[in-house]
Amino acid sequence: MYITNHNMSRLIEKVELSANEILKLPDIQYFISDQELTQLSRAKKFFQGAQTTNLSIIKEVSVPKDTFTKLYEGIPPAYHINQDCYRLQNHYQNLFIPKEVQAKGKAEVQRFRKYVKTFDFDELEQESTIIAIKAEFGFADERFAKEESNNSGATQIDFTKLLLSDIQNILNSSIQEMKNFSNISKIHEKVFQLRYRTPEDICRLTRKHNPQTSEAAKNLSELKHHLLLSKMALFQKEVNFNINNINEQLLKNNGFRACSTCIPKTSRQKIIFV
């Protein structure tokens, strides 16, 4: 079976953690927020326990409540048997629903969702598509299709085939680049003040700034993203976490369902995170 990085993150977020289990990470602590430190601590505990019968490490991952404020919401997590399933491979950018549409009620929100989902995300980047959607639903929110949250959690670095020493080298390189970032220019020095924000927030908060600031923010966002990923990958290697051997019951206990598009009624398969 296969699940997305986004759904693995949802599992990790539910790992129960006591105060004395918060890690001390002096190598990267200057570059991350307390929330990110807690998330890394949860991840390490998850990697240590997810292959065992210790199912109590995770609080139940409930189906997220539908607040009718996002395009994709209120959907149970799914596992896939087909690696090529388009629902697994797609990079869902979870767009925020305009306030004007929300104000017209749930039925209008559902109509909006159905209409917008007929477009792929390349089309949603086109001004002509955005104009058509605004005309259909009668709103003028300039932020539509520009403010989003990522549902896929796709990464540009594949750590699965790397040795522990390779991952450590990537981490060391990211740390050094973070240390040097503020020295590149005055703009970089100012952008570096956002280092405690999430990679997504770093880009979002500088989107309307001048091109030089936006580009520096994009670089910081990518650098921090790689820093967090490599640290998490290091935790996996250190405990010999095998993503093929995660306890299946752990998923079932946490509300995962079969993808209606790709999975038939079949025998159990191994689980791979992608």
Neighbours of 126 (CB within 10 A): 12
Tens-place pLDDT, residues 69-90: 988 888 778 877 777 787 777 6
Q: What is the 8-class DSSP label of residue 267? A: -
Give the whole-angstrom CA distance, residue 185 versus residue 156: 26
Tens-place pLDDT, residues 136-190: 999 988 777 755 555 544 444 557 678 999 999 999 999 999 999 999 999 999 9
Closest CA to 41 of 13, 60, 3: 13
pTM score, two decimals? 0.68
Neighbours of 44 (CB within 10 A): 23
Judge whether 162 and 180 are in contact, CB under 8 Å. no
∠ CA 159-160-164, nearest 5°, is 70
Tokens of 235: 């935790």
pLDDT of 116 > 80? The answer is yes
Judge whether 273 and 88 are in contact, CB under 8 Å. no
Report the pLDDT value the prediction gives residue 243, as an integer from 0 to 100.
60
Report the amino acid identity of residue 90.
N
